[in-house]
């Protein structure tokens, strides 16, 4: 049995609590108030009864009667040498006098007690906006939502069927690190930054809203991670500063638990380009809490996995925060035992989450963020091409039943003017065994198509009639593999 404990120790909040706010200095006064007898630190607030008279106010000649309060000018010799409040003006509508202390320039204000009661809604906003007070935080009550869930997952960008650097497209390059859609620090990968949410369901909705904006630009988001390193970073924070203190001070304990339940499960689905980023225990402290950086982006290929992953993270973090510890049994490899997940997920959700790496390894998951619309044809070029555009342009509008990856490669010059397409006529078909058999068992079929040397090198231009026949051969090949979509019958005009 493994037990992880955290310390729920927080820094005591300094100030004077009043109606949910924490004032830096707050005095309730009446009668005569002599500023010579008061220490006025920065952002001091005096709440005065009607008719209160303040003595030794700098910047006032004689006495200033505002109706609800009176300010008597300083009469002591060389008053400028004392840190007395100096009158700077007043706000008649909400009955506030504004002052600054001589020399130290500390902000001081006087507010009418009647106005404070009658206009509290407005004054609360004013005090917070102008820095006179801050929210008074208490530890969350049972049942109160106090965590925020966010993320900035990274993706490879597929445009016009190929993986391209995200910075090539304005939808990503125009955004800086504060924009919801942008690039990572290396500019190669796209980064989506959904608005923080209080629930896994809300987070998925926020993420999909950004995906729709990307889709409008004709862009697909890949989670494969074989070209660029991709991370599915998870953000956990809170609007409650006391909770944030604990999240930050005990971050390594939280990450240790997330590694055992989440990281060890998802890490094997990292792309080959992730390198040293694919490691347990990866995190960054943030002003709102922290960012868990161990998971890859792979689970974004399945939006139900995104929901379940965030539900699991939320449950684990909340348990540690509320109970101060969590105990669970682990397997030999350090992963939490399957039955331990049932405290946070349903049986079906547990099986779905834990089965993800196997589905990924078997090729049952399309490594793209799901979007509605016609399945795409993706292109990979296995050879350095001089003239690839003509073949890609001819094939990119193929109508397929599901996403298909076409791997176009060049044949050696000695093989002659033949194509590695099984459905090509004998005079145009490669003799003997083809270099690569099609893979159609997974969620993303991979079909290899060989092109004659002279055409892919641009030594000769493929005749238009032959290019048209070539497309027909590929369509027939995809039909044999049950990948080509059924043709839509033409509607005759009446």
Domain parsing of the chain, residue ranges:
16-135, 148-361, 377-480
Strands (E), 152-237: 154-159, 162-164, 181-183, 190-192, 219-222, 234-237
pLDDT at 186 over 90: no
Q: Each residue of 303-337: pLDDT tens digit?
A: 999 999 999 999 999 999 989 999 999 999 999 99
What's the whole-number mean pLDDT along residues 118-122?
A: 94
What's the whole-number mean pLDDT along residues 444-455?
A: 91
Q: Which residues contact 348 (CB under 8 A, 6 or more apart)?
A: none
What's the whole-number mean pLDDT along residues 234-258?
A: 94
For residues 323 and 492, which has the higher predicted lDDT (pLDDT)? 323
Q: Each residue of 49-79: pLDDT tens digit?
A: 999 999 999 999 999 999 999 999 998 888 8
What's the whole-number mean pLDDT along residues 155-177?
A: 87
Cα–Cα distance for residue pair 400/484, rounded to 1 Å: 4
Is 148-361 CATH 3.40.190? no
Taking the model in full, what pTM does it have?
Answer: 0.74
Query: What single string gives the DSSP state of each residue in 415-475?
Result: G-S-BB-TTS-GGGBPPS--SS--B-SSSS-EEEEEE-HHHHTTSSPPPHHHHHHHHHHHH
pLDDT at 492 over 70: no
Q: Which of 151, 152, 154, 182 is nearest to 167 (CA)?
A: 182
What's the whole-number mean pLDDT along residues 90-117?
A: 95
pLDDT at site 125: 93
pLDDT band at 388 (very low <50, low <70, confident <90, very high): low
Q: Each residue of 331-375: pLDDT tens digit?
A: 999 999 999 999 999 999 999 999 999 999 988 899 999 888 778
Q: Which of 458, 463, 473 is nearest to 410 (CA)?
A: 458
pLDDT at site 468: 94
pLDDT at site 486: 76
Lowest mean pLDDT among 16-30, 90-104, 432-446: 432-446
pLDDT at 493 over 60: no
Helix H or strand E segment including 254: helix 251-258
User: CA triplet 423, 428, 431: central angle to 5 degrees?
Assistant: 80
3-class DSSP state for residue 146?
coil
Mean pLDDT of the chain: 90
Cα–Cα distance for residue pair 404/307, rounded to 1 Å: 27
For residues 418 and 433, which has the higher predicted lDDT (pLDDT)? 418
pLDDT at site 490: 43
Cα–Cα distance for residue pair 154/24, rounded to 1 Å: 43
């Amino acid at each position: 049995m493994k037990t992880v404990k955290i310390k729920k120790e927080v820094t005591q909040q300094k100030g004077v609590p009043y109606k949910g706010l924490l004032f830096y200095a707050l005095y309730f006064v009446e009668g005569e108030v002599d500023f010579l007898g008061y220490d006025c630190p920065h952002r001091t607030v005096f709440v005065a009864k009607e008719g209160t008279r303040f003595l030794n106010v700098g910047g006032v000649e004689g006495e200033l009667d505002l109706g609800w309060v009176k300010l008597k000018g300083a009469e002591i010799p060389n008053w400028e040498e004392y840190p007395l409040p100096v009158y700077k003006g007043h706000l008649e509508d909400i009955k506030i006098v504004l002052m600054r202390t001589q020399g130290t320039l500390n902000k001081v204000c006087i507010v009418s007690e009647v106005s404070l009661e009658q206009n509290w809604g407005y004054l609360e906003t004013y005090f917070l906006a102008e820095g006179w007070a801050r929210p008074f935080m208490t530890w969350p009550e049972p049942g109160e939502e106090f965590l925020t869930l966010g993320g900035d997952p990274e993706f490879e960008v597929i445009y016009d069927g190929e993986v391209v650097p995200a910075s090539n497209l304005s939808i990503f390059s125009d955004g800086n690190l504060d924009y919801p859609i942008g690039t990572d620090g290396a500019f190669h990968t796209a980064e989506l930054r959904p608005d923080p949410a209080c629930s896994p369901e809300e987070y998925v909705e926020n993420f999909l809203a950004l995906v729709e904006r990307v889709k409008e630009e004709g862009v697909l988001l890949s989670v494969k991670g074989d070209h660029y390193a991709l991370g599915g970073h998870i953000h956990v924070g809170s609007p409650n500063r006391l909770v944030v203190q604990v999240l930050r001070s005990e971050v390594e304990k939280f990450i240790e638990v997330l590694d055992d339940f989440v990281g060890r499960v998802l890490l094997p689905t990292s792309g080959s380009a992730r390198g040293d980023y694919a490691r347990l225990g990866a995190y960054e402290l943030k002003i709102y809490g922290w960012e868990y950086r161990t998971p890859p982006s792979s689970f974004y290929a399945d939006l139900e996995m995104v929901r379940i992953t965030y539900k699991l993270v939320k449950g684990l973090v909340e348990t540690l925060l509320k109970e101060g510890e969590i105990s669970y049994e682990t397997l030999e490899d350090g992963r939490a035992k399957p039955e331990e997940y049932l405290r946070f997920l349903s049986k079906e959700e547990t099986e779905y989450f834990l089965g993800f790496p196997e589905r990924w390894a078997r090729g049952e998951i399309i490594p793209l963020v799901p979007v509605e619309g016609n399945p795409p044809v993706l292109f990979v070029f296995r050879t350095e091409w001089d003239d690839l555009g003509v073949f890609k342009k001819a094939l990119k509008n193929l109508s397929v039943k599901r996403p298909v990856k076409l791997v176009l490669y060049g044949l050696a010059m000695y093989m002659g003017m033949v194509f590695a397409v099984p459905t090509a006529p004998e005079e145009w078909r490669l003799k003997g065994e083809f270099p690569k058999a099609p893979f159609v068992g997974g969620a993303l079929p991979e079909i290899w198509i060989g092109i004659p040397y002279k055409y892919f090198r641009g030594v000769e231009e493929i005749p238009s009639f032959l290019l048209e026949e070539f497309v027909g051969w590929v369509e027939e090949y995809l039909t044999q593999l049950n990948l080509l979509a059924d043709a839509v019958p033409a509607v005759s005009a009446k």
